[in-house]
Structure 1
Amino acid sequence: MLAGKRNLLLLNGKEWKYYQSSLKSALHNQIRTDPTLLQRITVQTTRTLVKNIQAMIGKSTSDEAKQIYCPAIDGYMKMITQDVFGLAAFSHSFECCNNLQLSRFAKAFESIEHDILDRCLRNTLLPQNLIYSIPTKRNMMLLNNRRYIRTFVKDIIHDRLSKQHDGNDTDKTTSKCDILDKLIETHVTKQRQFQQGDQNNEEDLIDIVLSILLAGYDTVTIALTYAVFLVSRHPHWEVRCLEEIRRRNMDFDDVHNLPDKVEFPLCRAIILETLRLTTQTECEEDYCSIPVGDLQSFLAFSSGARSCPGRSFAIEEASLALAVMMDGLKFDIDSSYQPEMEWKVIVQKPKGGVPANVGLRP
């Protein structure tokens, strides 16, 4: 519903190939044009979050341990993911990490997700659970949130397109090497190639941008949450990660002087292992059963033609964010806590979030 008729998660056949190829080309061209863009955005965004949490801990006088209690650390992960998405997708800062709270955009998106999931779990035969045009309070709130999100993205796209069309780009907005910039280029090229009109150009671009958000927001957020949980439960791996991070002696506050390619192989491995371990359902296809935690078949991003086009984007974002967080913060999670899984639209997540005491990293 949120991503419209061109939601890449739902399209099939030639239509899916047409729009998916635009996204894949845009991601490829963006990386080729500025290979360190995502690196700079992720490090800067996560470091902002870490510094603000450190400042909040410094002001705390509740105990000598200098820790703050966070009932759900996935809230911090949402802030990182939302800010990285805004800056990488269309050069907009939602300021979630700076303000230590979700933006209106993020809250509207969360509200829609919760509403859709709740409707799926309720009696689907009831008209009010399926027909959004019925003027109930719940439907009105959902439609208002949807209208806000789509209008927000549409205004950015319209401004970018109009400046490119009129040649009035005095503030160099369209020269920003973000995903939207490359998406516009590749989408226009595809339209000419397939002799498509441009009457729905803006709506198509809105749907594709929101498809990226739908596919990447919860997945990266939940992967980071589980990764922090698992690292806290295995101190020897936490020590090894810290050794890897500190060995590189990087100044995360100076993103423009970072190496051309910042890599943390162990942090990356932890993200991938987290994805494998938190696959909680046995898969059965053509009478062939793949058990939970199988070492032989790891397909967290699917495979083949419909594999996730943002695979490298997601892994780089998650591994860098994990490294920067671990460098500045220590998450202590009660040894008696065990996450209980629940569904969140298309993914599973720890019910109620993961509670932790967050302290300064020595």
Structure 2
Amino acid sequence: MEEQGVHGPKPCGVTGNILEMSNLTSQSTSKDMETIHHDIVGRLLPHYVKWSKSYGKRFIYWHGIEPRMCVTEIELIKELMTKHHLVTGKSWLQQQGSKHFTGRGLLMANDRNWYHQRHIAAPAFMGDKLKEMIQSLQNAVNSGQKEFEIGEYMSRLTADIIARTEFDSSYEKGKQIFYHLTSLQHLCAQASKHLCFPGSRFFPTKYNREMKSLKMEVDRLLLEIIQNRKDCVEIGRSSSHGNDLLGILLNEMEKTRGNEFQLNLQLIMDECKTFFFAGQETTALLLTWTVMLLATNPAWQEKVRAQLKQVCNGAVPSLHQLSKLTVLHMVINESLRLYPPATVLPRMAFENIKLGDLVIPKGLSIWIPVLAIHHSEELWGKDVNEFNPDRFNSRPFASTRHFIPFAAGPRNCIGQSFAMMEAKIILSMLISRFSFTLSESYRHAPVVVMTLKPKYGVQVHLNPLDP
């Protein structure tokens, strides 16, 4: 890569640049932000800011023994995501880091396995399973409380929705799985600070023991749900395994495919864990950050409310009305731009590929810093760090790949439409029934724990519009 003009910071032995990255991030996030503003790239990606100033829009750094090339050039990113999706994917280090969390589910699948898993799982995200959740939202906000930690509530609500989508069961049945997966997520987030090499996961360290124990408990709970579903079919109580995600996966497992891709129980459990994380976590964060932004921008809150009244007249928006909520759509996009749940998109080359003017050798990981691209003054203008949903009113940013919260191309987020539908309905209910402002107790401190989160949650005051 140096021969092609791509340089980067000097690696330090087998740790590469991990220690410098860790030290820079620890320093930048050690204090909360003094005011609420959205210039957060230097806080969350300080190594990117430092190295891009020295080496430009493309540079090489080392995560332990894995070389990574950071790229922010839009045309290269567009080509990578659309042209090379089957010959790039998740690296060995990434798969090891999430081995006990999501295993080899869709997020970590590669090659033809990813293709098959994607097409098997897609139907589970096509139905409308959200209406029954709305009453739950109303009951909570009408309970008499004035201050809510909205992130915690959104997390419970989206967990309930994804539990029903996956298992057709209530949140109560899946909350143990959700609890353990949250603990696993925090442990996996530490993986980037640990050196990972072949065999290291077998060392009897406290970290490895905790990971293994949590994974075994999650797998045990999932096996109970799976076995119960299979028993119902075997004794004739049900004619199929169901049409939720678990049912679709179990029905697929029973099909014989010769030597082709074949599902097994472990892969089904990994898929369930993947969708519980991807379907619940990212949507909850999208809702939480959007509420924070609207709470600090009452004029936009009122614009959304006015359009909701015009389109829905106080009722729950139907599916065909959702497309008419253009102001809400712009607000959600701006929230995803400023606070994308996934701050980076990684892809490893599984064979030598030509990418623009570069030859990418097999084994090189390409890291796309989504957060930095979304906050690029060059791409978005002088007001890049301001909340301005109007920027999505005219220009088709998605087509130019400036805006990639759900990735892009064939390997984009499978649940994108589901997440947007879910977010619009929940936000519509909240905004049409309440005005809200940030509580004095809110502390602005975005952090990355695999995803971009508010460190202390988002506390808001809710005021009923129609007492």
Q: How many residue pairs end up in the alignment?
A: 319
- Calculate the TM-score normalised by the size of structure 2: 0.59
**Identity percentage over the alignment?**
20
Conservation of the 8 A alpha-carbon contact between 1:74 and 1:354: yes
Alignment counterpart, residue 141 of structure 2, candidates 53, 64, 67: 53
Moved segments of 4+, more than 4 Å: 138-141, 186-189, 193-197, 279-283, 285-291, 334-338
Q: What is the deviation of 1:76?
A: 1.0
The answer for the alignment partner of 2:461 in structure 1 is: 357
Conservation of the 8 A alpha-carbon contact between 2:101 and 2:215: no
- Measured in 2, the distance between the counterparts of 1:55 and 1:340 equals 29
Q: Secondary structure at the match of 1:20?
A: helix
Conservation of the 8 A alpha-carbon contact between 1:6 and 1:208: yes
Conservation of the 8 A alpha-carbon contact between 2:104 and 2:270: yes
- Calculate the TM-score normalised by the size of structure 1: 0.75
Task: Specify the code of the residue in structure 2 equivalent to 1:6.
Answer: R
The answer for the alignment partner of 2:299 in structure 1 is: 236
Unaligned runs of 5+ in 1: 58-66, 97-101, 253-257
Task: Specify the code of the residue in structure 2 equivalent to 1:267.
Answer: L
The answer for the alignment partner of 1:9 in structure 2 is: 107
The answer for the alignment partner of 1:113 in structure 2 is: 185
1:150 aligns with 2:254: no
The answer for the alignment partner of 1:292 in structure 2 is: 375
Change (3 A) 1:242 1:146: same
Deviations 1:133-169 (A, max 9, x none): 5263x554443332222222222222223433x2612
Q: What is the deviation of 1:273?
A: 1.9
The answer for the alignment partner of 2:313 in structure 1 is: 249
Name which one, 1 or 2, has greater alpha-carbon Rg.
Answer: 2
Return the structure number with greater helix share.
Answer: 1
1:210 aligns with 2:273: yes
1:38 aligns with 2:38: no
Provide the alpha-carbon RMSD of the alignment.
3.5
> Which residues in structure 2 correspond to 1:1-362 (within 5 Å)?
1-3=99-101, 5-24=103-122, 26-27=123-124, 31=126, 35=127, 37-40=128-131, 44-57=132-145, 67-68=146-147, 70=148, 72-95=149-172, 103-121=175-193, 124-125=194-195, 131=201, 134=204, 136=206, 139-164=208-233, 166=234, 168-170=236-238, 174-175=241-242, 177-189=243-255, 191-192=256-257, 195=260, 201-247=264-310, 248-249=312-313, 251-252=315-316, 259=318, 261-263=320-322, 264-279=325-340, 290=373, 292=375, 294-295=379-380, 296=397, 297-334=402-439, 339-345=444-450, 347-362=451-466
- Measured in 2, the distance between the counterparts of 1:291 and 1:39 equals 30
- Measured in 1, the distance between the counterparts of 2:405 and 2:313 equals 32
- Measured in 2, the distance between the counterparts of 1:330 and 1:206 equals 41
Q: What is the deviation of 1:181?
A: 2.4
The answer for the alignment partner of 1:60 in structure 2 is: none
Q: What is the deviation of 1:348?
A: 1.6
Change (3 A) 1:52 1:152: same
Task: Specify the code of the residue in structure 1 equivalent to 2:130.
Answer: Q
Unaligned runs of 5+ in 2: 1-98, 346-354, 358-367, 381-396
